[in-house]
Structure formats: structure tokens, C-alpha cells
Amino acid sequence: MSVATITERPREDQSKAASVLLDVQNLHVHFETSRGRVRAVEDLSYNVKRGEVVAVVGESGSGKSVSALSIMRLLSPLTGRIPKGRIEFEGRNLLDLTNEQMREVRGRDISMIFQEPMTSLNPILTIGLQIMEPLKIHLKMSDEEAHARAVELLTLVGIPDPAGRLDQYPHQFSGGMRQRVMIAIGLACNPKLIIADEPTTALDVTIQAQILELMKDLSRKLNIALIVITHNLGVVARYADRVIVMYAGRLVEEGNAENVFHHPRHPYSMGLLRSVPRLDRPRGARLETIEGLPPNLARMPTGCRFAPRCPFKIDICSTEPPLLPTDTGGLSRCHRQKEIAAGTISWSAAEGSVQKTEIKTGTPILSVRNLVKHFAVGSTLGTSGVVRAVQDVNLEIFAGETLGLVGESGCGKTTVGRLILRLENPTSGEIHFEGTDLASADAATMKAIRRKIQVIFQDPYSSLNPRMTVGQIISEPLKVYNLVKGKRGALERVEELLAQVGLRPEMASRYPHQLSGGQRQRVGIARALAMEPSFIVCDEAVSALDVSIQGQIINLLEDLQHRLGLAYLFIAHDLAVVRHISMRVVVMYFGRVMEVSERDALYDEPLHPYTKILLDAAPIPDPTIEKSRAPRLIKGELPSHMAPPTGCVFNTRCPIATEECRTVVPPLEEKRPGHFAACIKV
């Protein structure tokens, strides 16, 4: 058997497709902190069958990731403990295994794809070494076999020039590409169970579709079971067989995907579903959200934990509800589930008018002209070249406008944002902000301008100082620019900003590592808002947030925009979110602009083949719709940034490309009033 070939498991394993692989029973997980005992998971029970895809959903801090880390036995030995419960994998209780026995299970039989690839990848080791390590340890491959398998894995997850990129380091990859590397490591040894903690958070829709189709295909071929922890309900609708909904450390609903989506039996599940922006529906005035915040796990309320945020609470909700079977064959932890089933209470989306796009005019606050950025790169093999990250980009943003910037990972979106922020110097081109050319501005000019231009970074962990508390992180720029008076003024402003982004005041005393991924992202947003800027670059600002908090943050950004006249460059891969928040949209591919249009025109009648593929690949949070759609996978070869194709950069993957497309670089032309596309076939 070639090491570059995925083969099916022996028939005796195939015959066990319906048997239980993982059985979690009455799991309790506690953390001992200076503020008391945090009951992160309580009385959690569920099982996963061979070849089954189980999605675990819920807000940040609900216990999803902690339960996964418990299965992997990766809880901190200093603060985390499991006082009660069993975790049986193939009949063995993982909690009874020695550390050495558990190390043999990890990576070989159970693998985990973590939420934050930059903190999971070793920054001083090459990508190749990190992929090859489990292959050598668990599968006893030689260097040559492991290298060949590593190349195959990078090819599977859609990384161009895989052989050359094995010699690069994590910081030389974009956020989306680092996530793909983590997925490649997780798939390396063909494990029996993959736990994927937000596996597609940093991925664009086309790669997301490819990765999830690959994982689903492996699940079918090899009987690999998948536990997918995610806040992307479109992904859940497309791929999950069963759904587990968690809230405040408890399982509140469980059932097959179609029943949970179409017939939820818990108010929290109903609230999550109504919070999601959808591509198949017109944009409403505001996103629906679940008001309030999850409870403090160190001071849990009595009775139903969702009651403080539930619009249907009654007196009986002051007592703890049991987890009982529902009429749909699932489970629900709600006193009023029978009334929900009867339809006497419902949490319908509030009616509101469809919001039309408001086109801004006048003098743009930001104008980018002929922007070019090239990076010189090399490798340990002695090869070198130039990456043309941004090629001849033009865009304008007006005061009070949100410009959406979308495209696949590595297309140059983040680089454009960094150039505007002057975190990178352009190779050529102009960047005018309020009349000042940032490309040639000196340090003193940039210091004054930086207060007006802020950024919300994609990776909240690497952008926050791990040695500073949240309060210190947010107050530091306030003190540098003398925006507050004294410690009391700084404390009050920090608490106000934390409240704006949905965090409690006590979070100010915590360090970044003590927060969940979504909470860290909210701290980054609070820090950006602290400077009272006029323009914010939002680089995947809500990608790490669960749907209810995402809705709150988007509504907050829109409220601030209306109140303060803020302008946003909203870089994202979630096309539904971009449709909701943006007024105009720019589509990029391989460093070039493919299409620019007013939001509704672009989503309703896209002109460029690449835009059509992006929209087609985006999942819709409805299992009935998703199960009836064929997989929307982009075809063709992903080119290398070191050797881009001649002519149109999209010609290697375009379904309508001709010979002319391989020789002519199409200009960005106005095909309809206000609608621009770079395609000679349109």
C-alpha cells in the first residue's frame, strides 16, 4: 500500500458501523480558581457511534471545549479535575489509563483539531516536522514515507505548493492556512475518532466545504466518528447526524439534526436558530439575538440556568428541570417542552422591514489606488521567489459605510487591511485617509492617525499581551493618548467598554489565557472601540464568536456606526454575515479584485464565476435544504503564489475559462451601473 493512499478499514471494523465508539457518562468537570470552584461541565452524558457525525453547539463558555479536552485527557493538572463520570472509548474507561497509555491513544486512535492553530502549532518547528512527527511515532513511518504522506495531506486540505511549504514555519502561513495544517495533522494517522473544535472558524467557504466533505468522506470510508464543536449552524445543518446543545455546562437538548433545526424543544435552541443571518433570506433591519449573558459558572443560579434570559420563564423554572425525552425522539431539559411541542409558546423572529442598501456618496474617508504588495520569500531548500500578495487593488470607503471584503484564505484580504493600517509598507500605490497619504506618512503623522484608525484582529490570542490583564490591555491606549483621568476614570471606562461587548466587569482582572476564544475576541473589539476611532479594520472580527454573541456584536457595530459615523472595512469569509453588515462588497482572489458591487446586487445577481462559486459553497442553516444540495466543491488546481498563472488568475479553477482567459489579464470594468467585474466572459 502506498503511503499516499487512504484505504478503507478491514471489513470486521466496517461491520461495527452502528456500534458505540465513545460513551460519555455523567461527566462532571471542575476548575479550582482564586474566585472559587468553576463547574464547567455537569452531568453530561452522550455517545457517538462509529461513522457518526455529532455536532456540539452552544455559546462560548458553555462547556463544549472543556468536555472535548476531558475526552483527550488534556485538562490542566493544576486546576482541572473530573470528580465524577466515565469516558469509555472502545469499552475502555479513558480516565483509568496511565499517562503513557493515553499518549498512545492520542493522535493514533483519537485526534483533536484545536480552535486556535497559532497556539497549537510550535512556532520554532517547520510545518513539515510537525505533520511528520505523529506519522513516525504512531505509524512507524520512515522519513521518506512520512514526507510523502505530509505532502499528500497538505494537498488534501488545499494548500498550494505543498512540497515547498513543508519547509516553512507557522508564522509564514495565513490564519486559514494554519487551520488547514491543524486539520492535516488531525487526519494524519486515520484515527477512529476526530474531535474538531471549531475546525472551520478561520476557513473561507470553499475550503470549508472541501475540508468538511473530506472529513465526511473519511467518516464513511473508514468509519471515523466526528465530534464537531462549532457555532456555524450552516455547517451543522449540512454535515451533522445528531446535534447536542449545551448551555452553562449542561446538555439542554439533543436530537437528530432535522428535528433540532425544524422542531427545537428548548427555548435556548430556538433562540440560537433565530440569531443566525441567512443567505437565502433578505437582510432585516437588525439581527435577532438572545438578550443577556450566560451565567457565571462559579456562582450558578438555582433552577433552570437559562431562566434569566428566557422569555417564557414561569414560577416552576426556579427549580432544576430534568432531562426528559421529547415527542421528536430527542431529549430536552425544559419544564415547558410539551407546550413548545404543542405550539402554544414560540420564539418567532421579530417582524421587521427588509433593509435596503444605503449608498454613501461624497468624498471618501479612505481611498486606495493601484495598491501592490510583494513579499520576498525563501526556504531551507535554498529556493526563493516573490509572493505577489496584492496586485493593483483599488477601493473607496465613505464615512458611515461598511465595505465588505471577501475571498478565500490567502487571497490578500488581510494584507490589504495591514497595508491600510501601515503594519506593512506597500510595494507601490497610494492609501489616502482623510486627505493624508499613509503610504508616505512619517512616524509622527502615523501616531496621530492611529487613534482614528483601529483594528480588530483575526487571532484574538496572538493580538493580546499574555502578561497583561484584560483591564490593562484595554486601558493602556487610553492612558497613552490621555483619554481618561486617573485610575478611577480608567476603571470606569474599561467596565463600560466590557459591558458594550457583552463581558462582565470582573473579566478586567483576568488574563487572556483564562478566557474562551470568543471572550478574547470581544476584548479585542473593546480595545479597538476604546480609542473612539472614525475607521476600523475588522479582520474576521466575529469569526470566533458564537451566533448569539455574534449577533450582539454586529448590532453593536452598526449602532456605533449610526451614532458616531464610523466606517468599517469588514474582512470576513462568512458570506451571510457580510451580506448583513456591508453596504458594498469587494471580492478578491489571489491578490486581485474580481468583483465590486452594492450588496444586494452582488448577492442576487453575481457576475464573476468566482463570486458565484463562493455563494454556492456557503452553507444554509437548514438540514432540509442542505441535504437536497449536491456538494458545492470548487474544481481545478489551486495555483502557487510563487508562480501565479498567466492571464486571469482564476483561469485554473474557472468553469467557463477559455484560451483567451489564459493569456489576457481582465481589467476591472463597470458591467452594470455601479457593478464592476474583472472577467472577459461577462
CATH of the domain at 526: 3.40.50.300
- What confidence score (pLDDT) does residue 6 get? 42
Are 368 and 395 contacting, i.e. CB atoms less than 8 angstroms apart?
Answer: yes
Within this chain, do residues 235 and 382 fall inside the same structural domain, yes or no?
A: no
Q: What is the CB-side half-sphere exposure of residue 496 using CA atoms within 13 A?
A: 10
From first CA to last CA, the distance across the chain in angstroms is 47
Residues 44-79: pLDDT tens digits? 999 999 989 999 998 877 899 899 999 999 998 888
With CA atoms as reference, report the closest residue to 377 among 579, 96, 210, 164: 164
Consecutive H or E run containing 432 = strand 428-433
Residues 414-462: pLDDT tens digits? 899 999 999 999 999 999 999 899 988 888 898 889 889 999 887 777 7
Q: Which residue has the higher pLDDT, 273 or 293?
A: 273
Confidence of residue 175 (pLDDT cuts 50, 70, 90): low
- Residue 461 is part of which domain span? 366-472+511-677
DSSP character at residue 640: B
Distance of CA 572 to the CA centre of its chain: 10
Plot region of 298 (φ>0 → left; ψ -120 to 50 → alpha; else → beta): alpha
Domain membership of residue 633 (yes or no) is: yes
Tell me the backbone φ, ψ of residue 594, rounded to 5 degrees: -95, -35
Three-state secondary structure of 246-300: EECCEEEEEEEHHHHHHCCCCHHHHHHHHCCCCCCCCCECCCCCCCCCCCCCCCC
- What confidence score (pLDDT) does residue 378 get? 67
Does residue 2 surpass a pLDDT of 80?
A: no
- What confidence score (pLDDT) does residue 427 get? 94
**Coil, helix or strand at residue 426:** coil
Burial of 378 (0-12, 13-18, 19+ CB in 10 A): exposed
Confidence of residue 11 (pLDDT cuts 50, 70, 90): very low
Specify which residues 595 forms β-bridges with.
587, 677
Are 65 and 197 contacting, i.e. CB atoms less than 8 angstroms apart?
Answer: yes
Q: Which three cell numbers stand for residue 60?
A: 462560548
Does residue 367 surpass a pLDDT of 60?
A: yes
Q: 584 Cβ partners below 8 Å, 6+ apart?
A: 357, 359, 401, 403, 404, 596, 597, 598, 599
Are 592 and 651 contacting, i.e. CB atoms less than 8 angstroms apart?
Answer: no
Does residue 380 surpass a pLDDT of 60?
A: no
Does residue 7 surpass a pLDDT of 50?
A: no
Q: What DSSP string runs through 45-57?
A: EEEEETT-EEEEE
Grid cell 473612539 in the structure block, residue: 532
Confidence of residue 268 (pLDDT cuts 50, 70, 90): very high
Are 427 and 418 contacting, i.e. CB atoms less than 8 angstroms apart?
Answer: no
Domain membership of residue 305 (yes or no) is: no
Q: What is the mean pLDDT of residues 350-375?
A: 74
- What confidence score (pLDDT) does residue 14 get? 42
- What confidence score (pLDDT) does residue 562 get? 86
Does residue 247 surpass a pLDDT of 60?
A: yes
Q: Which three cell numbers stand for residue 201?
A: 472558524
Within this chain, do residues 236 and 371 fall inside the same structural domain, yes or no?
A: no
Are 144 and 226 contacting, i.e. CB atoms less than 8 angstroms apart?
Answer: no
Does residue 284 surpass a pLDDT of 70?
A: no
**Coil, helix or strand at residue 4:** coil
CA distance 105 to 91: 13
CA dihedral sign, ordered 569, 574, 579, 584: positive
CA distance 340 to 268: 12
> Rounded to the nearest 5 degrees, what angle is found at the Cα of 325, between the Cα atoms of 322 and 328?
140
Domain membership of residue 495 (yes or no) is: no
Strands 384-397 and 366-378: antiparallel
Domain membership of residue 295 (yes or no) is: no
Residues 614-652: pLDDT tens digits? 888 888 888 988 877 766 667 766 677 778 889 999 999
Domain membership of residue 251 (yes or no) is: no
Q: What is the mean pLDDT of residues 566-570?
A: 94
Q: Which residue has the higher pLDDT, 275 or 71?
A: 71
**Coil, helix or strand at residue 535:** strand
- What confidence score (pLDDT) does residue 60 get? 77
Are 587 and 593 contacting, i.e. CB atoms less than 8 angstroms apart?
Answer: yes
Q: What's at 224, amino acid-wise?
A: I
Among 205, 240, 275, the domain-final residue is 240
With CA atoms as reference, report the closest residue to 548 among 231, 229, 230: 231
Domain membership of residue 131 (yes or no) is: yes
Domain count, the chain: 2
Among 213, 240, 267, the domain-final residue is 240
- What confidence score (pLDDT) does residue 482 get? 86
Q: What is the mean pLDDT of residues 161-179?
A: 84
Q: What DSSP string runs through 155-219?
A: HHTT-SSHHHHTTS-GGGS-HHHHHHHHHHHHHTT--SEEEEESTTTT--HHHHHHHHHHHHHHH
Does residue 540 surpass a pLDDT of 50?
A: yes
Sheet holding 366-378, edge to edge: 384-397, 366-378, 428-433, 436-437
Confidence of residue 13 (pLDDT cuts 50, 70, 90): very low
Domain membership of residue 586 (yes or no) is: yes
Does residue 353 surpass a pLDDT of 60?
A: no
Plot region of 110 (φ>0 → left; ψ -120 to 50 → alpha; else → beta): beta
Distance of CA 86 to the CA centre of its chain: 31
Are 570 and 582 contacting, i.e. CB atoms less than 8 angstroms apart?
Answer: yes
Among 216, 240, 264, the domain-final residue is 240
Distance of CA 301 to the CA centre of its chain: 30
Domain membership of residue 154 (yes or no) is: yes
Q: At what angle do helices 486-500 and 517-530 cross, to 10 degrees?
A: 120
Q: Which three cell numbers stand for residue 100?
A: 503513557
Q: Which three cell numbers stand for residue 148?
A: 510523502
Average predicted confidence (pLDDT) for the chain: 86
Q: What DSSP string runs through 72-140?
A: TT-S-TTTEEEEEEEEEETTEEGGGS-HHHHHHHBTTTEEEE-S-HHHHS-TTS-HHHHHHHHHHHHS-
Q: At what angle do helices 486-500 and 470-480 cross, to 10 degrees?
A: 120
Residues 410-424: pLDDT tens digits? 788 989 999 999 999
Does residue 15 surpass a pLDDT of 50?
A: no
Tell me the backbone φ, ψ of residue 44, rounded to 5 degrees: -90, 125
